[in-house]
Amino acid sequence: MPKYALLMLCLLILCAPALFAGVTVTSPANNSTVQGPVHFEASATTSSCSQGVGSMGIYPAAYQLAYSVGGASMNYNLPIAAGTYNTVVVAWDKCGGATTAAIKITVTGSASGGKSFTNIQHAGGWEEFGQGPPNFVDCSPSPCNGISFWMAQGVNSPSLSGVATEYDLGGKVPYTDALWNNHLIGPLSSQGLPDNNKTLVPTLHDFTYDVYFFGSNLGLSQALEFDINQFFGGMGFIFGHECRIAGGHEWDVWDNQTAHWTPTGIACNPNNNAWNHLTIKVQRTSNDQLVYQSITLNGVTHNLNWTFGHGSAPGSWYGVTVNYQMDGNDKQNSYNIYLDQLSFNYQ
């Protein structure tokens, strides 16, 4: 058993009441080779806690909780980069006890269609800007217009991959924001795909933005924003997704034609001091409309399938980019967020 799993057993079992009968993991098999996302299926029972099992979780690396769910069972597909992992499935009961099952797996890659970029949070090519009301015009470098912002790559704790990125927003002007942008395909591509002949970007139609984020003071965030952008032929497709936290705990999506946020009615309540897993799926239709397909947060999927018209590309903008944005609250309290295992699938 890996050294950290033994330590976790000490912390979670030997140092707590021995109440568990055990954790049974039916998928994946120990010492198996699997494709991502990895299907975890497990259950737990207690021997003496009358209140039963409270929750279960998955640790793909030491002390890095990637997923948790209430109850005595889990059935979850965990997106995870290729590599070998000494995973640990943990169950906590309602009497203060816990137990684990160590599962070693080798992940060979993704079974999903299309092509993917992985660990984008650790890539080069990130640009950063401050924005503020009323016009939210970009300013840079930090500090500017009363906004302070920065990012630091290669963070190993908290981290799932060992190369998380920390993003920070502060300043003195309320309701101001920090925007980070990365050009994936097209000019300034951080992924080696400049598409100089402009033949690739117009063919792409399905996109998935998948990321883990961690914050210890999420209540200070007015909102967190995760965007996919596609520009070609003078058209602009901005797939904007905003999780309003201090702003009301609801997901909004961006209407390109009216340039306004549209509330979805979907609650957004990310967990503090834990890794939150977000997957957003969108599509550009054959007649160039935007479809917001689904939002999945911590294993709960909401299917939208909402359609909007496209906007115009500013100037000669061309390519596919991703954004991550942090919004300040009414006091512009400083806060930081960590991103990890940011991947992008395109077809």
Instruction: Give one DSSP letter per residue of 173-210, joined into a string.
Output: STT-EEEEEEEEESTT-TTS---TTS-SGGG--EEEEE
Same domain, 182 and 100: no
We report the CATH number of the domain holding residue 139 as: 2.60.120.260
Contacts of 7 (CB under 8 A, 6+ apart): none
And the tokens for 98?
């816990």
And the tokens for 198?
């402009």
And the tokens for 72?
């005595």
Q: Helix or strand or coil: residue 124?
A: coil
Amino acid identity of residue 64, one-letter, is: Q
Question: Residue 154: which pLDDT band, with cuts at 50, 70 and 90?
Answer: very high
Same domain, 260 and 177: yes
Same domain, 103 and 131: no
> pLDDT tens across 81-96, in order?
778 899 999 998 888 8
Same domain, 191 and 177: yes
pLDDT at residue number 20: 47
Q: Helix or strand or coil: residue 151?
A: strand
Same domain, 198 and 89: no
DSSP per-residue letters across 280-309: EEEEE-TTSEEEEEEEEETTEEEEEEEEEE
Across 11-36, average pLDDT: 69
> Of 110, 145, 180, which residue constitutes the final position of a domain?
110
Same domain, 68 and 134: no
Same domain, 214 and 94: no
And the tokens for 156?
């190993």
> pLDDT tens across 198-218, in order?
999 999 999 999 999 999 999
And the tokens for 321?
């980019």
And the tokens for 217?
């003071």
Nearest Cα neighbor of 227 from 246, 243, 250, 245 is 243
Nearest Cα neighbor of 98 from 19, 172, 171 is 19
Same domain, 75 and 100: yes
Same domain, 151 and 201: yes
And the tokens for 249?
């705990």
Beta-bridged to residue 140, according to DSSP, are none
Q: Helix or strand or coil: residue 1?
A: coil
| pLDDT at residue 25 greater than cutoff 90 | yes
Same domain, 138 and 286: yes
| Domain enclosing residue 214, as ranges | 115-346
Domains in the chain, number: 2
> Of 79, 110, 141, which residue constitutes the final position of a domain?
110
Same domain, 288 and 163: yes
Query: How many whole angstroms separate alpha carbon 293 and alpha carbon 132?
Result: 30
**Is the peptide bond prior to 141 cis by the omega test (within 30 degrees of 0)?**
yes
Same domain, 319 and 279: yes
Question: For the chain, give me the number of helices (H) and strands (E)?
Answer: 1, 24
pLDDT at residue number 47: 66
We report the CATH number of the domain holding residue 14 as: 2.60.40.10
And the tokens for 129?
């800007």
Across 251-259, average pLDDT: 96
Residue 3: DSSP 8-state = H
> Of 110, 135, 162, which residue constitutes the final position of a domain?
110
